[in-house]
Amino acid sequence: MEAGYNFAYLDEATKRMIRRAILKAVAIPGHQIPFGAREMPLPYGWGTGGIQVTASIIGPADTLKVIDQGADDTTNAISIRRFFARVADVATTERTEDASIIQTRHRIPEAPLREDQILVYQVPMPEPLFRLEPRIAETKRMHALADYGLMHTKLYEDIARLGRIGTAYNYPVMVNERYLMSPSPIPAFDNPKMDRMPALQLFGAGREKRIYAVPPYTPVRSLDFEDHPFRAIRAPHACTLCNSTASYLDEVVTDDQGGRVYVCSDTDFCRTEQERAA
């Protein structure tokens, strides 16, 4: 471990403060808890909420995986992994099944997570109602009273205009049938994975200074209408590399003639599938 830093970079008082917020968040699933966010010396454009949560829960025995849009090998994912290897001396991995903590932005791994794993999301905007109701005090009141008619009105408008619910990312969910929650901008495809997940899910928003959580095995339901049920959508193709027809795909443009292929967004899943087939 590099000298001159406290373990995992943050000082102990800050980590205790963040852990208290995490405990409150776990006690009230889906409810946003304010915390005193700190600066982190990390790439601009990623946001630090999730990293502060990771720094507060990580221990020397942990194995950390970091994914950005499903990939372990992006610049951001690599630099965050290196950062924790340096300031906490923890092992890192690209294998979902080997990780005890998975720090993510924009995806949930395809491999089912277990009770002994924690998934930490980086969240840019924690408030699911913010586009609909700009007054913060009013959104707080809506949460306090579970008054979510406005969110359904937005979904109604989608169907009226598009014939279907047009929200492909950040699709709003009800946690434990009580709090409306933003799942951070994961694809709606990933929403069903949140439901009764055995792993603890923690969400950190640095700029907005909020932490929230979904404890293991908590019901998470995507909002919908009886006659327009929620559907997890993926591109109707097989992965060009591993042939999976079940994973979430990224579209990759291959030339300037409009050629394109579809590949798994989860790089670890794709490699595992390819190894299995080989």
Catalytic residues: 30, 239, 242, 264, 270
For another protein, the binding residues (CB under 8 A) are 141, 144-145, 147-150, 152-153, 156-157, 159-161, 224-228
Q: Which two tokens stand for residue 35?
A: 């915390």
CB of 74 to Zn ion, least distance (A): 17
CB of 150 to another protein, least distance (A): 7
| Closer residue to Zn ion in complex, CB, 182/244 | 244
Residues 238-277, one symbol each (x = binds Zn ion by CB under 5 A, - = not), give -x-xx-x-------------------x-----x-------
Cα angle 161, 162, 163; round to 5:
105
CB of 127 to another protein, least distance (A): 18
What are the CA-CA distances from residue 92 to residues 58, 76, 106, 124, 166 (Å)? 12, 14, 20, 24, 37
Helices (H), 99-202: 136-144, 149-162, 191-194
Q: Which does 226 bind (CB under 5 to 8 A by kind): Zn ion, another protein, none?
A: another protein
CB of 220 to another protein, least distance (A): 17
| Closer residue to another protein in complex, CB, 2/147 | 147
| Closer residue to another protein in complex, CB, 13/144 | 144
Q: How many CB atoms lie within 10 A of CB 46?
A: 21
Q: Which does 239 bind (CB under 5 to 8 A by kind): Zn ion, another protein, none?
A: Zn ion
Q: Does 71 bind Zn ion (CB under 5 A)?
A: no
What are the CA-CA distances from residue 124 to residues 39, 160, 168, 176, 235 (Å)? 15, 28, 17, 23, 25
| Closer residue to another protein in complex, CB, 95/228 | 228
The answer for residues whose C-beta is within 8 angstroms of residue 22's C-beta and 6 or more apart is 33, 53, 56, 57, 202, 211, 213
Q: Which does 270 bind (CB under 5 to 8 A by kind): another protein, Zn ion, none?
A: Zn ion
Distance CA 261, CA 242 (A): 12
Q: Which two tokens stand for residue 166?
A: 């047009």
Please choose, from the candidates 150, 155, 106, the residue with its C-alpha nearest in 3D space to the C-alpha of residue 129. Answer: 150
Q: Does 10 bind Zn ion (CB under 5 A)?
A: no
| Closer residue to another protein in complex, CB, 79/153 | 153
Q: Which does 242 bind (CB under 5 to 8 A by kind): another protein, Zn ion, none?
A: Zn ion
Q: How many CB atoms lie within 10 A of CB 28?
A: 16
Q: Which residues bind Zn ion (CB under 5 A)?
A: 239, 241-242, 244, 264, 270
